[in-house]
Amino acid sequence: MSLRQQQELETDYLMRSYQRKPVEFVRGKGILLYDDTGAEYLDFLAGIGAVSVGHANPRVTRAIQEQAAKLLHVGNYYYVEGRGELAKKISALLNNGAVGDGGGTVGDGGGPEQSGTSRTPSPTVGTGDSGSLPFFWKTFFANSGAEAVEGAIKIARKYGMRYLEGADMVVSARRSFHGRTLATLAATGQDSKRDSFKPIPEGFVHVELNDIQALRAMLNQGFGGRPVCAVLLECIQGEGGVYPCTEEYLLAARQLTEEAGILLMIDEIQTGFYRTGTYPFAFQHYGITPDVVTLAKGLGAGVPIGAVAARGKAADIFEPGDHGSTFGGSPLAIVAANATLDELEATEAGQHVAEVGSYLQERLKDLPFVAEIRGRGLMVGLELNEAIAESIVTKGLKAGLVLNNIGPHILRFLPPLVCTKKDVDVLIKRLQTIMERL
Co-location of 342 and 377 in the same domain: no
| 69 assigned to some structural domain | no
How high is the pLDDT of residue 56?
A: 98
How high is the pLDDT of residue 100?
A: 42
Predicted confidence (pLDDT) per residue in 101-144, tens digit = 333 322 333 445 444 543 333 333 333 333 344 789 999 999 99
d(C-alpha 176, C-alpha 144), whole Å: 17
CATH number for the domain spanning 17: value is 3.90.1150.10
Which residue range is the domain that position 405 belongs to?
A: 3-53+350-436
How high is the pLDDT of residue 96?
A: 84
d(C-alpha 56, C-alpha 50), whole Å: 13
Co-location of 204 and 138 in the same domain: yes
| 294 assigned to some structural domain | yes
d(C-alpha 329, C-alpha 138), whole Å: 13
Q: Which of 331, 346, 361 is the last residue of a domain?
A: 346
Q: What pLDDT band is residue 359 in, cutting at 50, 70 and 90? A: very high
- Give the start-end residues of each E strand in 89-136: none
> What is the tally of structural domains in the chain?
2
Co-location of 172 and 304 in the same domain: yes
Co-location of 395 and 254 in the same domain: no
Average pLDDT of span 92-109: 52
How high is the pLDDT of residue 118?
A: 39
Supply angle C-alpha 164, 167, 172, rounded to 5: 115
Predicted confidence (pLDDT) per residue in 18-67, tens digit = 999 999 999 999 999 999 999 999 999 999 999 999 999 999 999 999 99
Co-location of 169 and 268 in the same domain: yes
How high is the pLDDT of residue 300?
A: 98
Q: Which of 346, 370, 398 is the last residue of a domain?
A: 346
Query: What stretches of 46-189 show up as alpha helix (H) in DSSP?
Result: 46-49, 58-68, 83-94, 145-163, 182-187
How high is the pLDDT of residue 1?
A: 87
| 77 assigned to some structural domain | no
Co-location of 342 and 355 in the same domain: no
How high is the pLDDT of residue 123?
A: 36
| 65 assigned to some structural domain | no
Co-location of 252 and 106 in the same domain: yes
d(C-alpha 179, C-alpha 189), whole Å: 11
| 67 assigned to some structural domain | no
Q: Residue 43, SS3?
A: strand
Q: Which of 279, 313, 346 is the last residue of a domain?
A: 346
How high is the pLDDT of residue 116?
A: 55
HSE-up of 230 (CA within 13 Å, CB side)?
31
Co-location of 126 and 196 in the same domain: yes
How high is the pLDDT of residue 134?
A: 73
Co-location of 201 and 294 in the same domain: yes
